[in-house]
Homo-oligomer: A and B are copies of this chain.
């Protein structure tokens, strides 16, 4: 019923579970790429079947619906972003240091999980899965805003900007990375997080 398609990656090193053909991880990755190119709404299970090179019933062996694939993909992005915030909130450091930790961690998540975060950031839909994901995303934004306000209260950040606008603009700057940044495989750490931190805290002006 399911066959390893000609276009499958040669050997990603990921463990293959269940039937031969796609493991769940690779299936998810391919589906997310298709969603990002064609848009989630415009992608049917038939489109996914064509791109995966396996039958629809082989896909249904892994997942119950297209929406389940979306949910798993969005969870991957949101779990990673929330873990960045949770890790920072667990420390006792001043808020400004925790904010820097969040900025660096978020940049890394965006680069590491780029297709999943791209899917999240382009979400516009109204299904229950999408509404839930957008609400989790809003909560992340609010937690960054709260961290900025705490760092303002501690005297480390300027107080003439609203925490809400500042967090929206800061996250807007960070989120734009998925639109233009393509990591160089030979230089996985090219200082992107340093650049974002420098801009966010000190701006463009020469000291």
Contacts and interface: CB of A to CB of B under 8 A. Distances in A.
Chain A interface mostly? helix
Contacts of A162: 195
Copies of this chain: 2
Interface string A43-69: 000000000000000000000000000
Given A168-B180, A199-B166, A204 B161 contact: yes
Contacts of A198: 158, 160-161, 203
Nearest to A99: B204
Contacts of A124: 37, 39
A162 B199 CA distance: 11
Contacts of A199: 161, 166, 169-170, 200, 203
A70 to B, nearest CB: 16
Contact of A206 (B42, B155, B195): B155
A204 B172 contact: no
Contact of A176 (B148, B176, B200, B207): B176
Interface string A105-134: 000000000000000001010000000000
A174 to B, nearest CB: 8
Contacts of A202: 158, 202-203, 205
Residues of A in contact with B, size category: 35 or more
A172 B172 CA distance: 6
Interface in A127-183: 148, 151, 155-162, 165-166, 168-177, 179-181
A77 interface: no
A171 to B, nearest CB: 7
A203 B203 contact: yes
Nearest to A179: B172
A201 B168 CA distance: 17
Given A41-B39, A200-B204, A205-B201, A169 B195 contact: yes
